Amino acid sequence: MEASVFIVGAALILTGGIGVVAAKNPVHSALFLIETLTGVAVIFVLQDAHFLAAVQVIVYAGAIVILFLFVIMLLGVDKTVDWQLKEPIAGQQPLAAIIGASLVGLGVVITTIATDNLTGAIRRGGDRALDSGFTDVERLGRVLFSDYAMSFEITAALLTIAVIGAVVLTRSIGRDDLLDDLDPAPMEPSSAAPHGANDSDLEPDPADGERSAGDAGGE
Amino acid sequence: MISALDPMLVDGVDTGDLLFVLLKVVVAFVFLLVAVMLKIWFMRKVIADFQNRIGPNMAGPWGIMQSLADGVKLFMKEDLVPENADRFVFKLAPYLSLVPAFLVFAIVPLGGNFNETRTLADGTTVTGAFGWGDNLTFLQVADPPVGILFFLAMSSIAIYGIMLAGWGSGSKYPLLGSVRASAQMVSYEAALGLAIAAVVLQSGSLSTNEIVAQQAGEGFGGVVPNWNILLTGFVPFVIFLIAGLAELNHPPFDLVEAEQELVGGFHTEYSSIRFALFFLAEFMNQITMSAIIVTLFLGGPAGPVLFGPAWIWGIIWFFAKLLVFLYGLVWVRATLPRFRYDQLMDLGWKLLIPLALGWFLLLAGLRVADVRNWSGAQTAGFVAGFMAVCMVMASLLMAAVRSARQDRLEREGVDHG
C-alpha cells in the first residue's frame, strides 16, 4: 500500500520535473511544475504531514505558479521557443550541466554515507514529537507559537515590509515622469494567442512554421 | 504510514472496508451529478417565478428532465478545437475545473448521528458516526485531519481550469475573461481563508467532522442552536458568503463570463461536451460551496432527533439546510445586478480582508479572555480598546485613500470642485 502510493507520487514528481525542463512552451513548463508540486504533496500525505501537503498545494500550486502563469501570459513570452537556435546566455548550458551533475553527486554521496542519520532527527531526540498523541497541525502550532514565536513574528514583519515595498516601488507616487506608465497599455494581440495569427512582427515561431508547412502539404 | 481517518479503518483495512469506501465514492459522485441536474432545473424554475414566467415545462413532469435533455443535446454537438488553440491545454482545462469540484465534496459530512458520542473498542471516541456496534463509519467520503484546508487547496487548483481555458483558446475575449477570473478568485481566497480561520479558532479543529460535532447540542440558554454563525458573531458568515459567491463566479460577481463585455468569458471557444463539463463544474461548485457553508456555519447534519430512527435525522437536517441555502443562491442570482470590476476589487481588498482580519483578532482576544478568566469589566475594556484602535486605523486608511484619489485627479487636471 505505502510502496504503491510512493511509486505513484515519485512518478508524478519525476515526470513533472523532466517535463519542466523539456517542455518548449513556458506555459507547459509551468503545468509540469504543478504536477511536481502535487506529487510532493502526495509524498507529504504519505508521511502523515497532512498540513504540509495542504499548504504545499495552497501556497505553491495555488499562488506561486499562478503568479508565474500571469507573468508568462501578460509579458507575451508564452510562445514555443527552440533554445537550440537562440541561446539567451552564452555558455550557460555546460555550466548548468556541471552544476546539475555535482548536485546529483552530492545527493548520491549524502544518501550513501549518512543513511542512518540523514535529517539529524535522531540526534535531536528521534521521534519524540511524533508519538506525543497530537495531529501534525497541533504539533506545528505548538512549536510555531512557542519555540519559534520570535522568528515567526520576524518573518511576518519581513513579508509585510516586502509587500509594502513592492507597492511603493511599482506605484512611484508623485513622480509625474512615470505616471504615463501607469496607464494600461493597449493589449498586444499576440500575447492573447498561444500561436496567434498576428505573430508576423515577432520572431518566427517554429511551431507555426511546422504547422503551415504541414497544412500546405496536406492541401 | 497512512493514518486511520475513519472509525471503519481504525483496525486495519480489509477488502470489505475498501469496497465500502468505493461505495461511498460512487454515491457521492452520483449524488453530485443528479443534484446538478435538479439544481439547474430548480434554478430555472425559481428564476422563472421571479420573472413571472413559466420556465421549462415540456420535458418530463414540471419540466424536471430539462437539464437531462440539454445535456444529451450538448453531447451530440460537434466538438470544435480552434485553429489558434494550444490543443493540449485546451483539452486539459475542463478536467482541471471538474476534478476539484468533485474532490471538495469528499470532505462534506452528509449525515450521521451527532447527538451521541460512541466509544470504540480501542478507547477512542467518535461523534457523528453511522452504523451499528463497532461497525461505524462517517457519512463522508474522507475526513482528513486538514479537512477544510483541503477545500482551500482544491479551490486554488480550480483556478487553473479557468485560467488555462482562457489562455489555451488562443483568442482575446477568453483570455480577458480568464485573467479577470483568476485575479478575482485569488483576491477573494484571502477573505475566504480568514473567515474559515474564525471558524477554526472557534472549533479548535480543521476536520469537518469535528467542526460539525462542536456545533451539535444546544447553544446559549438552550433556545438557540450552537452554530458557528452565532458563535463567531455573524460577520465571518457574511464575509464567507460574499467571498464564496465571488469564488464561484456566481452573480453578482459573474464578471468572468459577462456576456455583454466578453461574449462568454473563458469558455467562449468551447463547445459540445467540454462546454458541458465547465457548466457541470460550475454548478457542482455551487452545491459544494453551499454544503461547505452549511457545514462550517449552520451545523451541518447536527440537529435534534424529532421522531423515529436517530440516524436518518442527520441526513434530513443536512439536506433541509442545503436546500434553503441553494434557494438563497438562486434568489441572489435573480435579484442583484453585476458588480463593476473596480467595485469588485475595492470590496475584496479594502473592505472584506481588513474586516475579516480585524474580526479574527477580536475573536482571538475574546478567546484569550475566556482562557485567562478575565472579569467582565476587563473583557469589555479590551473590546472597547480594540474597537477604538480599529476605528483609528480605518479612518487613517480612508484618509489615505481619499488624499491619493485627490492627488490623482489633480494630476490628471480634472476639476472636481
Which residues in chain A have Cβ-Cβ distances shorter than 8 Å to B175? 73, 191-192
Q: Is the pLDDT confidence value at B322 over 80?
A: yes
Q: What percent of chain B has pLDDT over 90?
A: 11
Check CB contact under 8 Å for B167 and A61. no
**Residue B90 CB contacts under 8 Å (≥ 6 apart), including other chains:** B81, B82, B165, B168, B169, B170, B269
Report the run of H or E that residue B137 belongs to, with start and end. strand B135-138
pLDDT of residue B293: 92
Q: With cut-offs at 50, 70 and 90, classify the pLDDT of residue B312.
A: confident
Neighboring chain A residues of B149 at a CB cutoff of 8 Å: 51, 54-55, 58
Task: Provide, as residue numbers in chain B, all residues whose Cβ is less than 8 Å from the Cβ of A2.
Answer: 1-2
Q: Which residue of B has its CA nearest to A51?
A: B146
pLDDT bin (cut points 50, 70, 90) of residue A147 is confident
Give the per-residue pLDDT at A101.
93
For β-strands B129-132 and B135-138, DSSP reports them as: antiparallel
Nearest to A58 among B153, B167, B206 (CB): B153
Does residue A3 belong to the interface with chain B, where contact is any CB pair within 8 Å?
no
How far apart (Å, rounded) are the C-alpha atoms in residues B235 and B351?
12
pLDDT tens per residue across span B156-173: 888 888 888 888 888 888
Percentage of residues in chain B having pLDDT higher than 70 = 92
Contact A78 B175 (CB under 8 A): no
* Higher-pLDDT residue of B221, B57: B57
* Per-residue model confidence (pLDDT) at position B241: 92
Q: What's the Rg (C-alpha) of chain A?
A: 24
Local confidence band at A215 (pLDDT 50, 70, 90 cut-offs):
very low
Q: Is B293 within 8 Å of B240 (Cβ atoms)?
A: yes
Summarised one tens digit per residue, pLDDT across range A10-56 is 999 999 999 998 888 888 888 999 999 999 999 988 887 888 888 88
pLDDT for residue B174: 83
The minimum CA-CA distance between B51 and chain A, rounded to whole Å, is 38
pLDDT digits (tens, 9 = 90+) for B113-140: 777 777 766 666 777 777 766 677 788 8
Residue A210: predicted pLDDT: 41
Which residue shows C-alpha cell 446538478? B36
In sequence order, what DSSP letters do the residues of B290-333 get, joined into one string? HHHHHHHHS-TT-----SS-SHHHHHHHHHHHHHHHHHHHHHHH
Check whether B5 has a pLDDT greater than 70: no
Tell whether B86 lies on the interface with A, counting CB pairs under 8 A: yes
On the question of pLDDT at B69 being above 50, the answer is yes
Burial of B99: CB neighbours in 10 Å, binned 0-12, 13-18, 19+? middle
Q: A64-104 pLDDT, tens per residue?
A: 888 888 888 777 766 666 666 666 677 788 888 899 999 99
Taking residues B331-359, report their average pLDDT: 87
What is the per-residue pLDDT across B248-268, written as a single tens digit (0 to 9) for each?
A: 888 888 777 766 666 667 888
Beta-carbon separation of A173 and B404 below 8 A: yes
For residue B12, what pLDDT is reported? 65
Inter-chain contact A5–B84, Cβ cutoff 8 Å? no
Q: Are the beta carbons of A192 and B2 separated by less than 8 Å?
A: no
pLDDT at B2: 36
User: What is the average pLDDT across A109-124?
Assistant: 63
Model pTM score: 0.81
pLDDT for A82 equals: 63
Average pLDDT over residues A169-196: 53
Q: Check CB contact of B2 with chain A, cutoff 8 Å.
A: yes
Of A69, A136, A187, the CB nearest to B163: A69
Quote the radius of gyration of chain B (alpha carbons, Å). 24
Residue B64 has pLDDT above 80, yes or no: yes
Question: Which chain B residues have a beta carbon less than 8 Å from that of A61?
Answer: 153, 156-157
What are the CB-based long-range contacts (under 8 Å, 24+) for B161-164?
B161/B93, B161/B94, B161/B95, B161/B96, B161/B97, B161/B98, B161/B100, B161/B278, B161/B281, B162/B93, B162/B97, B162/B249, B162/B256, B162/B266, B163/A66, B163/A69, B163/B266, B164/A27, B164/A31, B164/B89, B164/B92, B164/B93, B164/B96
Most confident of A118-127, A181-190, B40-49: B40-49
Residue A190 has what pLDDT?
A: 45
The whole-number pLDDT of residue A191 equals 45
Residue A142 reports pLDDT greater than 90: no
Counted across chains A and B, CB pairs separated by less than 8 A come out at 103
Please, are residues B352 and B198 in contact by the beta-carbon 8 Å criterion? Answer: no
Q: Where are the domains of chain B?
A: 2-340
Band (A213; pLDDT cuts 50, 70, 90)? very low
Phi, psi (5° rounding) for residue B271? -140, 175
Mutate to test the interface with A, among B13, B14, B18, B84 (most CBs of A within 10 A): B84
The pLDDT score that the predictor gives to residue A102 is 94
What is the model's pLDDT at position A193? 46
B85 touches A: beta carbon within 8 Å? yes
Q: How many CB atoms neighbour CB B49 within 10 A?
A: 13
Tell me, what's the pLDDT at A99? 93
Q: Given CB atoms, is A24 within the 8 Å cutoff of chain B?
A: no
Q: What is the ipTM of this complex?
A: 0.80
What are the pLDDT digits (tens) for B90-115?
Answer: 888 899 888 998 889 888 888 877 77
B93 touching A (Cβ < 8 Å): no
